[in-house]
Amino acid sequence: MNKALGSHPQWVLIGIYLILGSLWALLIPPFEKPDEIHHFAYVQFVMQERKIPKISADNPVFLRWEVFQPPLYYFGGALVYRIGVLFGLSETNLDAWFPRINTNFLKDNSKANLSFFYHFESLTHPQGSFPYDLILIRLFSLFLGGVTLIFIYKTALLAFRGEIWLAVLTAGIIAFMPQFTFITSSVSNDVLASTLGAISIFQLHRLGKATSGKYYWDYFLLGLVMGLGFMTKNYFFSLLPLVLFSALVFDKNTLLRRFQGLLIFSATLLFVSGWWFLRNFLLYQNVLGNFWEISAFYSSQVAPRSLFSPYFFSHAPIFWISLGESLIGRFGFLHIAMPTIYYKLFLWLLLASLVGIIIYFIRRNRSLIELNPLVFNLLVVFMAITQSIYFNLSVSSAQGRHVFYALSSIGIVFVTGLSSLFSAFWERILSMTGKSPPGVIPSRDPILMILSVLAAINLYALFIVVLPQY
């Protein structure tokens, strides 16, 4: 165990995440995650019909809500689903779940101890027809979550210039964040968006760092991954300006080579995802497929507001509170909350991180080259939040999972700030004792202790906060 921790701690971390995530996937009752039954209906439709559904009032009730989504996640889920069916897995009849909707939940979903559906069976007591096919797709999502963590670790390793334990800490904070295991063990295209977002941000960090023989290959891979991202969620528009930033700041090649690289990126991006936008235009005369502009069916979700609405700016802004709490831990249909002290703790850590970032910028020994990774990741976080604000100008949906595609940068910025604050504090203590600061090298044992506490909080969230509600 110690040898594995010393040489490959990231794999131990991901192994623990997969164990924890499996518990979240297996134990939380079916379809008790945000929009899960609608995403599952999409997967099932693609598996059975082998085509992409269209927005229509004639669609089955559970299919109607997510048919506007790009199809890539559902292609992957349908492939896994088909393999399961070939091995004898039964297909869930979603029509049988409609009468099981808890009408009390629909009247007041602010109360705990209310489930969206009535559950007459469980994984261990499968009376009737327990949806084992749902569990299969949840585990498919969990695998994607593991891939996400691999690239969060690899990106942090680049940002922290090879400091393994800072990279492990960054990936570990994300891995054991209860909301991450909750969402990545559910059927949702936000899971694949987080994976492709992590790979895209990794590729953006790599621009200009590869050998000359791989230079154009890096731009091609970036276009490929972001094209796949557009085939998953429209969030990826917020990353497009950062491609130009990365090419100008990270890439140290000639202007001509950078221009050629951007052309390769653009051509690849359009080749992979251009057909989807063309399809939307031909079907709906709406390139992006914005559901609230296409069909009156979604009118109940539309809540247009200005940027200066109390929704964003008031003594208790709904947007920021909901976004923050659902980023770190709010479950069910956002009606199951962690204890208040949990949110306060993260708020104080966030403020401490912001102080550390300010210290990081004002220290005179920071060169522009050293600041580039932090500046870039701050821009990623800014663009992700801006995208979420823009979306909420039309639809009330301030949910942390909508910025999961930027988790690499969120984690890197958070850890950079905390490590900077700790370094400044430690050096101050040493200077007061008359000792010369040797420089703070990330130590394994304190980081393992932190991650152990986070893993324990993850288990607490599942067994003490969430499961008793059902």
Cα–Cα distance measured from residue 169 to residue 410, given in angstroms and rounded to the nearest whole number: 13
With beta carbons less than 8 A apart as the criterion, state whether 43 and 63 touch: no
Is residue 368 scored above 60 in pLDDT?
A: no
With beta carbons less than 8 A apart as the criterion, state whether 48 and 82 touch: no
* pLDDT tens track for 411-439: 999 999 999 998 888 777 766 766 555 55
Q: What confidence score (pLDDT) does residue 371 get?
A: 59
Q: What confidence score (pLDDT) does residue 74 get?
A: 98
Query: Residue range 363-391: average pLDDT?
Result: 81
Query: Residue range 159-176: average pLDDT?
Result: 95
Which of 56 and 185 is assigned the larger pLDDT? 185
Strands 330-331 and 336-337: antiparallel
Which of 252 and 70 is assigned the larger pLDDT? 70
Structure tokens at 48: 């059975």
Q: What confidence score (pLDDT) does residue 1 get?
A: 43
Cα–Cα distance measured from residue 293 to residue 52, given in angstroms and rounded to the nearest whole number: 20
364 class by beta-carbon count within 10 Å (0-12 exposed, 13-18 middle, 19+ buried): exposed
pTM: 0.94
Query: Residue range 150-167: average pLDDT?
Result: 94
Q: What confidence score (pLDDT) does residue 321 get?
A: 95
* pLDDT tens track for 40-97: 999 999 999 999 999 888 899 899 899 999 999 999 999 999 999 999 999 999 999 9
Is residue 349 scored above 60 in pLDDT?
A: yes
